[in-house]
Amino acid sequence: MEVKIMRNVLDKNQDKADENKKILRESNVIMLNLISSPGAGKTTILESLCNNMAARFNIGVIEGDAYTDRDAQRLAKFGFPVVQINTEGGCHLDSFSINKALGELPLEQLDIVVVENVGNLICPTSFDLGESYRVAILSTTEGDDKPAKYPMVLRDADIVVLNKTDLLEHTNFNLDNFKSDLRKLNPLIPLFEVSAIQGHGMEMLETWVSSIILGTK
Protein backbone atom coordinates (compact mmCIF):
# COMPACT_ATOMS: atom_id res chain seq x y z
CA MET A 1 0.00 0.00 0.00
CA GLU A 2 1.34 3.40 -0.98
CA VAL A 3 0.56 6.45 1.16
CA LYS A 4 1.06 9.86 -0.39
CA ILE A 5 2.53 12.38 2.08
CA MET A 6 4.14 15.35 0.24
CA ARG A 7 5.18 17.13 3.42
CA ASN A 8 8.30 19.18 4.03
CA VAL A 9 10.25 17.85 6.99
CA LEU A 10 10.88 21.43 8.15
CA ASP A 11 7.18 22.37 8.10
CA LYS A 12 6.97 22.36 11.89
CA ASN A 13 10.05 24.56 12.17
CA GLN A 14 8.51 26.93 9.62
CA ASP A 15 5.20 27.11 11.50
CA LYS A 16 7.01 27.98 14.73
CA ALA A 17 9.15 30.54 12.84
CA ASP A 18 5.96 32.18 11.57
CA GLU A 19 4.67 32.26 15.14
CA ASN A 20 7.94 33.91 16.28
CA LYS A 21 7.55 36.51 13.53
CA LYS A 22 4.06 37.30 14.82
CA ILE A 23 5.25 37.62 18.44
CA LEU A 24 8.02 39.99 17.35
CA ARG A 25 5.68 42.07 15.19
CA GLU A 26 3.18 42.42 18.01
CA SER A 27 5.93 43.61 20.37
CA ASN A 28 7.40 45.90 17.71
CA VAL A 29 10.77 44.20 17.99
CA ILE A 30 13.23 43.49 15.18
CA MET A 31 15.21 40.24 15.26
CA LEU A 32 18.58 39.62 13.59
CA ASN A 33 19.99 36.14 12.96
CA LEU A 34 23.80 36.21 12.80
CA ILE A 35 25.28 33.32 10.82
CA SER A 36 29.01 32.71 10.37
CA SER A 37 31.77 30.13 10.70
CA PRO A 38 33.23 29.66 14.18
CA GLY A 39 35.71 32.46 14.85
CA ALA A 40 34.53 34.93 12.20
CA GLY A 41 33.72 37.46 14.91
CA LYS A 42 29.99 37.24 15.66
CA THR A 43 30.46 37.85 19.39
CA THR A 44 32.98 40.66 18.88
CA ILE A 45 30.65 42.41 16.43
CA LEU A 46 27.79 41.98 18.88
CA GLU A 47 29.93 43.37 21.73
CA SER A 48 30.75 46.39 19.62
CA LEU A 49 27.07 46.94 18.68
CA CYS A 50 25.98 46.59 22.33
CA ASN A 51 28.69 48.97 23.47
CA ASN A 52 27.99 51.69 20.92
CA MET A 53 24.21 51.46 20.75
CA ALA A 54 23.40 50.96 24.43
CA ALA A 55 22.61 54.63 24.94
CA ARG A 56 19.93 54.67 22.23
CA PHE A 57 18.41 51.21 22.10
CA ASN A 58 17.50 48.28 24.30
CA ILE A 59 19.01 45.11 22.95
CA GLY A 60 18.16 41.51 23.85
CA VAL A 61 20.60 38.75 22.99
CA ILE A 62 20.03 35.05 22.30
CA GLU A 63 23.30 33.15 22.34
CA GLY A 64 23.42 29.82 20.53
CA ASP A 65 26.40 27.64 21.28
CA ALA A 66 27.02 23.94 21.05
CA TYR A 67 28.49 24.00 24.56
CA THR A 68 29.43 26.55 27.31
CA ASP A 69 28.06 29.99 28.18
CA ARG A 70 31.32 31.83 27.51
CA ASP A 71 29.83 34.08 24.82
CA ALA A 72 26.83 34.89 27.01
CA GLN A 73 29.21 35.91 29.79
CA ARG A 74 31.11 38.19 27.39
CA LEU A 75 27.83 39.93 26.55
CA ALA A 76 26.29 40.03 30.03
CA LYS A 77 28.55 42.94 31.05
CA PHE A 78 26.51 45.37 28.95
CA GLY A 79 23.53 44.91 31.26
CA PHE A 80 21.19 43.72 28.50
CA PRO A 81 19.18 40.51 28.93
CA VAL A 82 21.02 37.52 27.47
CA VAL A 83 19.47 34.06 27.00
CA GLN A 84 21.84 31.18 26.43
CA ILE A 85 20.79 28.19 24.32
CA ASN A 86 23.11 25.19 24.39
CA THR A 87 22.42 22.82 21.53
CA GLU A 88 24.61 20.07 23.10
CA GLY A 89 26.60 19.48 19.97
CA GLY A 90 23.74 20.39 17.61
CA CYS A 91 24.86 22.41 14.64
CA HIS A 92 22.12 25.06 14.43
CA LEU A 93 19.33 26.81 16.32
CA ASP A 94 15.73 26.10 15.41
CA SER A 95 12.54 28.12 15.76
CA PHE A 96 11.38 26.12 18.81
CA SER A 97 14.40 27.02 20.93
CA ILE A 98 14.07 30.65 19.80
CA ASN A 99 10.38 30.63 20.73
CA LYS A 100 11.31 29.53 24.25
CA ALA A 101 14.08 32.12 24.48
CA LEU A 102 11.76 34.90 23.29
CA GLY A 103 9.45 33.91 26.16
CA GLU A 104 12.26 34.59 28.61
CA LEU A 105 13.09 38.04 27.22
CA PRO A 106 11.25 41.21 28.32
CA LEU A 107 10.16 41.93 24.73
CA GLU A 108 8.00 44.92 25.66
CA GLN A 109 11.14 46.71 26.89
CA LEU A 110 13.29 45.84 23.87
CA ASP A 111 13.92 47.41 20.46
CA ILE A 112 15.90 44.57 18.94
CA VAL A 113 16.80 40.93 19.60
CA VAL A 114 20.06 39.67 18.17
CA VAL A 115 20.44 35.91 17.79
CA GLU A 116 23.97 34.60 17.57
CA ASN A 117 23.55 31.29 15.81
CA VAL A 118 25.89 28.31 16.28
CA GLY A 119 29.08 28.85 14.28
CA ASN A 120 28.39 27.04 11.00
CA LEU A 121 27.80 28.18 7.43
CA ILE A 122 25.58 25.35 6.22
CA CYS A 123 23.09 24.01 8.76
CA PRO A 124 21.63 27.27 10.16
CA THR A 125 20.79 28.34 6.61
CA SER A 126 17.92 25.84 6.29
CA PHE A 127 16.25 26.83 9.57
CA ASP A 128 14.13 29.97 9.59
CA LEU A 129 13.99 31.32 13.15
CA GLY A 130 11.42 33.98 12.34
CA GLU A 131 14.10 36.66 12.11
CA SER A 132 13.43 40.00 10.45
CA TYR A 133 16.90 40.07 8.86
CA ARG A 134 19.54 37.47 8.29
CA VAL A 135 23.13 38.67 8.64
CA ALA A 136 25.96 36.59 7.13
CA ILE A 137 29.34 37.35 8.69
CA LEU A 138 32.55 36.34 6.96
CA SER A 139 36.13 37.27 7.79
CA THR A 140 39.26 37.94 5.76
CA THR A 141 41.21 35.19 7.55
CA GLU A 142 38.78 32.54 6.26
CA GLY A 143 39.78 33.13 2.64
CA ASP A 144 37.92 34.79 -0.22
CA ASP A 145 36.33 31.59 -1.54
CA LYS A 146 33.41 31.48 0.89
CA PRO A 147 30.81 32.76 -1.62
CA ALA A 148 31.75 29.97 -4.03
CA LYS A 149 31.81 27.31 -1.31
CA TYR A 150 28.74 28.33 0.66
CA PRO A 151 26.41 29.95 -1.86
CA MET A 152 23.15 29.46 0.02
CA VAL A 153 24.07 31.32 3.17
CA LEU A 154 24.89 34.37 1.05
CA ARG A 155 21.95 33.93 -1.25
CA ASP A 156 19.52 33.87 1.70
CA ALA A 157 21.16 36.63 3.75
CA ASP A 158 19.87 40.21 3.82
CA ILE A 159 23.28 41.78 4.45
CA VAL A 160 26.87 40.54 4.47
CA VAL A 161 29.48 41.74 6.94
CA LEU A 162 33.12 41.15 6.07
CA ASN A 163 35.06 41.29 9.34
CA LYS A 164 38.79 41.52 10.18
CA THR A 165 39.58 43.99 7.38
CA ASP A 166 42.49 45.20 9.56
CA LEU A 167 44.19 41.85 8.86
CA LEU A 168 43.69 42.05 5.09
CA GLU A 169 47.32 42.86 4.32
CA HIS A 170 48.51 39.80 6.25
CA THR A 171 46.33 37.37 4.32
CA ASN A 172 45.99 36.25 0.71
CA PHE A 173 42.34 37.35 0.73
CA ASN A 174 41.53 39.00 -2.59
CA LEU A 175 38.81 41.58 -1.98
CA ASP A 176 38.03 42.01 -5.70
CA ASN A 177 37.56 38.27 -6.22
CA PHE A 178 35.40 38.09 -3.12
CA LYS A 179 33.19 40.95 -4.26
CA SER A 180 32.83 39.62 -7.78
CA ASP A 181 31.84 36.14 -6.51
CA LEU A 182 29.41 37.71 -4.05
CA ARG A 183 27.86 39.91 -6.76
CA LYS A 184 27.29 36.92 -9.03
CA LEU A 185 25.51 35.15 -6.22
CA ASN A 186 23.54 38.00 -4.75
CA PRO A 187 23.96 41.12 -6.87
CA LEU A 188 21.95 43.50 -4.69
CA ILE A 189 23.07 42.49 -1.20
CA PRO A 190 24.61 45.26 0.95
CA LEU A 191 28.21 44.55 2.03
CA PHE A 192 29.72 46.08 5.18
CA GLU A 193 33.50 45.92 5.49
CA VAL A 194 34.48 46.16 9.15
CA SER A 195 37.10 45.50 11.73
CA ALA A 196 35.05 44.93 14.88
CA ILE A 197 38.15 44.93 17.05
CA GLN A 198 39.55 48.22 15.68
CA GLY A 199 36.11 49.74 15.15
CA HIS A 200 36.67 50.46 11.42
CA GLY A 201 33.44 50.49 9.42
CA MET A 202 31.30 49.70 12.47
CA GLU A 203 29.51 53.05 12.38
CA MET A 204 28.05 52.12 8.95
CA LEU A 205 26.75 48.86 10.38
CA GLU A 206 25.35 50.70 13.41
CA THR A 207 23.58 53.13 11.07
CA TRP A 208 22.00 50.21 9.24
CA VAL A 209 20.85 48.60 12.52
CA SER A 210 19.47 51.96 13.76
CA SER A 211 17.60 52.53 10.53
CA ILE A 212 15.85 49.15 10.60
CA ILE A 213 14.88 49.66 14.26
CA LEU A 214 13.55 53.17 13.62
CA GLY A 215 11.75 51.89 10.52
CA THR A 216 9.48 49.77 12.72
CA LYS A 217 8.56 52.53 15.18
Distance between CA atoms of residues 140 and 155, nearest Å: 19
> b/e map of 122-136 (b: 16 or more CB within 10 Å)?
ebbbebbbbbbbbbb
Stretch that binds other proteins, among 33-41, 52-60, 83-91, 133-141 (CB under 8 A): 83-91
Residues 142-201 that bind other proteins (CB under 8 A): 147-152, 155, 181, 184-188
Residues binding other proteins: number (CB under 8 A): 33
55 binds other proteins (CB under 8 A): no
12 binds other proteins (CB under 8 A): yes
**Residues pairing with 33 in the sheet:** 115, 134
CA-nearest of 173, 121, 184, 181 to 144 is 173
List the one residue from 89, 108, 169, 172 that touches other proteins (CB under 8 A).
89
Give min distance, CB of 59 to other proteins, in A.
29
Beta strands in 66-202 (DSSP E): 82-86, 112-116, 133-139, 159-163, 191-193
**Nearer residue to other proteins within complex by CB, 143 or 210:** 143
> b/e map of 70-90 (b: 16 or more CB within 10 Å)?
ebbebbeebebbbbbbbbeee
Stretch that binds other proteins, among 43-51, 77-85, 86-94, 207-215 (CB under 8 A): 86-94
Contacts with other proteins by CB under 8 A lie at 1-10, 12-13, 89-92, 122-123, 125-126, 147-152, 155, 181, 184-188
